[in-house]
Amino acid sequence: MQSYLAGRDMITTQEFTKDELETIFDVAFDLKRKRALGEPHAYLRDKVLAMLFFFSSTRTRVSFEAGMAQLGGHAQFIDSRTTQISHGDTGKEIGEIIGRYCDGIAIRQCDWGIGNDYIRGVAEASRVPVLNMQCDYYHPFQGLADMLTIFERFGRNPRGKTINVSYAYASSYQKPMSAPQSLILLATRYGMNVRLTRPPEFKVMPDIVDQAAENAQRSGGSFEVLDDFDAGFEGADVVYPKSWGAMLTTTDNDESAEISKQYTDWITDERRMALTNNGEGIYMHCLPADRNIEVTDGVIDGRWSAVYDEAENRLHVQKAVMALTMR
Domains of the chain listed by start with CATH number: 13-139+314-325 (3.40.50.1370), 142-310 (3.40.50.1370)
Tens-place pLDDT, residues 40-87? 999 999 999 999 999 989 999 999 999 999 999 999 999 998 888 888
Tens-place pLDDT, residues 171-211? 998 999 999 999 999 999 999 999 999 999 999 999 999 99
200-204, Cβ contacts within 8 angstroms, sequence gap of 24 or more: 200/227, 201/246, 201/249, 201/259, 202/167, 202/244, 202/245, 202/246, 202/249, 202/260, 203/248, 203/249, 204/177, 204/180, 204/244, 204/248
Distance separating alpha carbons of residues 303 and 282, to the nearest angstrom = 8
Distance separating alpha carbons of residues 5 and 321, to the nearest angstrom = 9
Q: Return the pLDDT at 265.
A: 98
Are 327 and 280 in contact by the 8 Å Cβ rule? The answer is no
Q: Return the pLDDT at 260.
A: 97
220: pLDDT confidence band, cut at 50, 70 and 90?
A: very high
Q: Return the pLDDT at 81.
A: 87
Tens-place pLDDT, residues 116-160? 999 999 999 999 999 999 999 999 999 999 999 999 999 999 999
261 burial via Cβ count (<10 Å: 0-12, 13-18, 19+)? exposed
Q: Return the pLDDT at 169.
A: 98
Q: Is 262 helix (H, G, I), strand (E, B) or coil?
A: helix
Distance separating alpha carbons of residues 68 and 71, to the nearest angstrom = 5
CA 217 remoteness from chain centre:
23
- Angle in degrees, 0-180, between the axes of helices 140-154 and 307-325, rounded to the nearest 10: 120
Q: Return the pLDDT at 184.
A: 98
Sign, CA dihedral 138-139-141-143, equals: negative
Distance separating alpha carbons of residues 136 and 180, to the nearest angstrom = 11
Strands 130-135 and 104-109: parallel
Q: Return the pLDDT at 86.
A: 81
Are 147 and 187 in contact by the 8 Å Cβ rule? The answer is yes
Q: Return the pLDDT at 76.
A: 97
Query: What's the mean per-residue pLDDT of the chain?
Result: 97
Q: Return the pLDDT at 85.
A: 86
Averaged pLDDT, 205-228: 98
- Angle in degrees, 0-180, between the axes of helices 307-325 and 18-37, rounded to the nearest 10: 110
The number of beta carbons lying within 10 Å of the beta carbon of residue 253 is 14
Are 175 and 203 in contact by the 8 Å Cβ rule? The answer is no
- The percentage of the chain sitting over the pLDDT mark of 90, rounded to a whole number, equals 96
Q: Return the pLDDT at 267.
A: 98
